[in-house]
Amino acid sequence: MFESTTIRRFSFGTVYKILAIASCFSMVPLSIIMGLFAFFGAETIVWNGQHLTGLMGLIASPFVGLMLALIFTGFLGTLFACGLWFYSKFSTLELEVLK
């Protein structure tokens, strides 16, 4: 059963938290898959301008994913929070919540 909730504005922390969770649960698994490709010789993991292959590529891949998630969260979180703040000046947001 869905219940409708009206939101006047999100706090900056809420936007960063949602974006951090979403980017970590998407970037890290993707980078681990790329690390598996690197383990078998593909040049899919780059650190400090050098391609990492073999075991080093597999080991470094989760850290590359976390670094990408942090960068995306910091940059896009700021843009999204400012955009939602600007949107809140003109209208409210209605969310459907599953209960």
Q: List pLDDT tens digits, range 9-32.
A: 889 999 999 999 999 999 999 999
Q: List pLDDT tens digits, range 29-88.
A: 999 999 999 999 999 999 899 999 999 999 999 999 999 999 999 999 999 999 999 999
Task: Tell me the DSSP string of 11-64.
Answer: -HHHHHHHHHHHHHHHHHHHHHHHHHHHHTT---EEETTEEE-THHHHHHHHHH
| Pick from 54, 14, 59: nearest CA to 38 | 54
Q: How many CA atoms within 13 Å lie on the side-chain side of 93?
A: 13
